[in-house]
Amino acid sequence: MARGRRMQRVGSTIVCVILAAAAIAAAAAQPTATTNSGTPIPVVGVKTGIDANSGQRPARQNINSLWARGGPQWDLYILALSELQAVDETDELSYFALAGIHGLPHSAWNGVEQVDGAPSSRGYCPHGEVLFSTWHRPYVALFEQTLVSHAARIAQKYPVKVAPTYKAAAQTLRQPYWDWASDPELPPAATGVNVTVNGPNGVVTLRNPLYSYRFQRVDVEATFGGSLAAFPETWRCRASGEALANNSTASNEGLAHVAGDLMSDVYDVFTRTTTFDAMAYDEWRGSSFENPHNIVHSASSCSGTMSSIDWSAFDPLFMLHHCNIDRLVAMWQAINYKTPMFTTTANSTGQFGTPPGTAITADSPLKPFFDENLVLHTSNSVAAISKFGYTYPEIDDWSTTPEELATSLRAQVNGLYSHNQRIVDLATSSSFQQPRPPHRDDQPGGGDQTQTSYYTAEIQVNRSEISLPATVNLVIDGLVVGRMAILGMPCEGFASVSLPLRDTLLQGNLSLQNMAPQTVIPFLQQNLTMEIRASDGTPIPVSSTPSLQLEVQELDFMPRVNGSTFPVFGNATRWPIAIRQSDNCEG
């Protein structure tokens, strides 16, 4: 059934706050640069534990490894996070105030006030624009420096015998990350209500600070509004009958559904994007880390705290998630070390400190984060992770050349994220010995190389037409073959994504890549359908989104030649595909 061109909207279900004139602040003061203590808090990261000779920096660790290993760093991480969550919410460096920079409560932090024309309906975080990738870097670094300062103080309190071990552990402690593309389930460390660690005074059982954050001033926080305001603590998937959060089974089911998308999408960004802009955020015909990022926000929490941009940063999963986004961006930058930062000019979508339409370059301020000279950070000033005193296990940029590091990272990315791709290793794969029907035999100088095809779906929709957050799925015969998650901010303008079509499209055992467009395109034109679902699963008919656009793109594709190279993509050919409602939504 082809979609009609009805101009109907889902009017009554639109919950997105439209940037109305009324929501735009009246004249506001310039930054006053005052905080609790009177001066801005600089974001410098953590400077301890760095080897003065080699320059080696401590790695942010995989949360599952940190948890499984246990020991002093795990103890300190949990105790520090717990102590941070207990800091009075009116303190600028409380868990609450730090989380509150992202979305709600839409108020000034670090003395960085709202400016003329900037929306009062948003926090400082940019999404759907290039600053998405750079803004979250100082944000995680600020959280990390605060967390580690607690850990360092706690380490001093241990008995003399073990104090040196704990002090050393604190010096190399950094914010951990959750690699959801490799481990698509909630980190076990974050699912128990209680946690037992070795504290300065012996073994102690605490409320697990990774399980949820409990608001201290429920009466005040409830006044922030929105559907999540009524909850006294952050929640993911609620168990039936419980006021609060705990159904890890449901969260993990949600994540299991999208696991294939997460890995395919991440690998696709690493291998296919060649510009920082394309990698950094979702734009028309671009493949970026923002889409899998959005999918994790939506899938990990049913319609709970993580699914709302305004509230997500309060869930302790948020920093684990964004630390991972920062890691993916850092790995991409090290692979593409000749073009590690964008040089384009873009339009801001508008945040608490920035009016919409502001011209954005890599020298634009990342509000509200000041550097050590009390000048606002910029994308250029945060381009290198060494700035903030951390690295990731995959990145050694002190004892290798940039080219060696890029080669090593390509190999690690292939090892971590390529399983979903039927990308054969020409040198070693036995599957390559199988007959492969290359659809082109006229490649000049092609000789021993096999060029095949890679298929992507390009989707675009006007956000105003959908009740956000929502997911747009590509469906063939009941199977989801690609997924676009759209969060609630920004709620206007076009949301776009370029999705690799996954091998769910296997016919028999033939990979799509082995199939010629003459076969694939008619198949997709006849059998590719779409469904849109609100965050609670409610179907939204595609007929209510007249702006929805779908194209299939075929790219010339040269498989990788060995484990430390990526596949090579060539020219693209595109076909428009009629929007057809998936059966799943009907009736």
Ligand X SMILES: *[C@@H]1O[C@H](CO)[C@@H](O)[C@H](O)[C@H]1NC(C)=O
Rule CB under 6 A: say whether 570 interacts with ligand X. yes
Rule CB under 6 A: say whether 527 interacts with ligand X. yes
Site residues (CB under 6 A) for ligand X, limited to 482-501: 493-494
How many angstroms separate the CA atoms of 262 and 387, rounded?
Answer: 29
The smaller minimum CB distance to ligand X, of residues 494 and 575, is found at 494
Q: Report which residue type is found at 167.
A: K
Tokens of 261: 């998308």
Q: Of 49-57, 123-131, 167-175, 555-563, which part binds ligand X (CB under 6 A)?
A: 555-563
445-464 footprint of ligand X as x/- string (CB under 6 A):
-----------------x-x
Rule CB under 6 A: say whether 509 interacts with ligand X. yes
* DSSP tally for the chain: helices H, then strands E: 12, 14
Helix (H, G, I), strand (E, B) or coil at 320: helix
Q: How far is the CB of 159 from ligand X (least distance, A)?
A: 24
Tokens of 494: 């076009």
Rule CB under 6 A: say whether 250 interacts with ligand X. yes
Q: How far is the CB of 125 from ligand X (least distance, A)?
A: 20
From 340, 564, 568, 575, residue interacting with ligand X (rule: CB under 6 A) = 564
From 133, 248, 379, 513, residue interacting with ligand X (rule: CB under 6 A) = 248
How many angstroms separate the CA atoms of 62 and 66, rounded?
Answer: 6
Rule CB under 6 A: say whether 438 interacts with ligand X. no
Site residues (CB under 6 A) for ligand X, limited to 333-352: 347
Sequence-distant (6+) residues with CB within 8 A of 90 are 97
Q: How far is the CB of 226 from ligand X (least distance, A)?
A: 22
Q: How many Å from the N-terminal Cα to the C-terminal Cα in the chain?
A: 13
Rule CB under 6 A: say whether 247 interacts with ligand X. yes
Rule CB under 6 A: say whether 539 interacts with ligand X. no
The smaller minimum CB distance to ligand X, of residues 393 and 493, is found at 493
The smaller minimum CB distance to ligand X, of residues 55 and 570, is found at 570
The smaller minimum CB distance to ligand X, of residues 401 and 562, is found at 562
From 193, 230, 256, 374, residue interacting with ligand X (rule: CB under 6 A) = 193
Q: How far is the CB of 247 from ligand X (least distance, A)?
A: 4
How many angstroms separate the CA atoms of 46 and 478, rounded?
Answer: 49
Q: Of 26-34, 98-106, 532-540, 556-564, which part binds ligand X (CB under 6 A)?
A: 556-564
Burial class (CB in 10 A: 0-12, 13-18, 19+), 530: buried
- Cα angle 13, 3, 572; round to 5: 110
Q: How far is the CB of 240 from ligand X (least distance, A)?
A: 4
Q: Of 161-169, 188-196, 364-372, 379-387, which part binds ligand X (CB under 6 A)?
A: 188-196
In what helix (H) or strand (E) does residue 82 lie, and over which residues does it extend? helix 72-86
Rule CB under 6 A: say whether 117 interacts with ligand X. no
In what helix (H) or strand (E) does residue 279 lie, and over which residues does it extend? helix 276-280
Q: How far is the CB of 249 from ligand X (least distance, A)?
A: 4
> CB–CB of 305/103 below 8 Å?
no
Rule CB under 6 A: say whether 82 interacts with ligand X. no
Q: Report how far apart, in Å, the C-alpha atoms of 248 and of each of 125, 195, 253 are.
A: 28, 16, 8
How many angstroms separate the CA atoms of 572 and 293, rounded?
Answer: 26
Count of residues interacting with ligand X (CB under 6 A):
33
What is the sign of the dihedral through the CA atoms of 84, 85, 87 and 92?
Answer: positive
Rule CB under 6 A: say whether 8 interacts with ligand X. no
Rule CB under 6 A: say whether 354 interacts with ligand X. no
Site residues (CB under 6 A) for ligand X, limited to 42-71: none
- Cα angle 77, 219, 205; round to 5: 30
Rule CB under 6 A: say whether 216 interacts with ligand X. no
DSSP annotation string for 35-75: -TTSSPPB-----TT--TTT---PBPPBHHHHHHH-SHHHH
The smaller minimum CB distance to ligand X, of residues 112 and 558, is found at 558
From 13, 156, 165, 249, residue interacting with ligand X (rule: CB under 6 A) = 249
From 55, 71, 357, 437, residue interacting with ligand X (rule: CB under 6 A) = 357
Q: Of 10-18, 185-193, 365-373, 416-424, which part binds ligand X (CB under 6 A)?
A: 185-193
136-175 footprint of ligand X as x/- string (CB under 6 A):
----------------------------------------
Rule CB under 6 A: say whether 522 interacts with ligand X. yes
Write the DSSP symbol of residue 573: E
The smaller minimum CB distance to ligand X, of residues 35 and 248, is found at 248
From 133, 246, 307, 496, residue interacting with ligand X (rule: CB under 6 A) = 246
- Rounded (10°) CA dihedral 28, 30, 34, 39: 160
Q: Report how far apart, in Å, the C-alpha atoms of 149 and of each of 36, 77, 102, 156, 178 are.
A: 18, 11, 21, 11, 22
The smaller minimum CB distance to ligand X, of residues 86 and 193, is found at 193
The smaller minimum CB distance to ligand X, of residues 13 and 205, is found at 205
Q: How far is the CB of 534 from ligand X (least distance, A)?
A: 18
Q: From 467, 473, 458, select the one nearest 491 (Cα to Cα).
A: 467
> CB–CB of 545/468 below 8 Å?
no
Strands 452-462 vs 549-558: parallel, antiparallel or unpaired: antiparallel
Rule CB under 6 A: say whether 526 interacts with ligand X. yes
Using alpha carbons only, how large is the chain's radius of gyration in Å?
24
Q: Report how far apart, in Å, the C-alpha atoms of 537 and of each of 254, 303, 469, 532, 584 are.
A: 11, 9, 11, 9, 11
The residues of the shown chain that bind ligand X, judged by CB under 6 A, are: 191-194, 205, 239-240, 246-250, 253, 347, 357, 462, 464-465, 493-494, 508-509, 522-523, 526-527, 556, 561-562, 564-565, 570-571
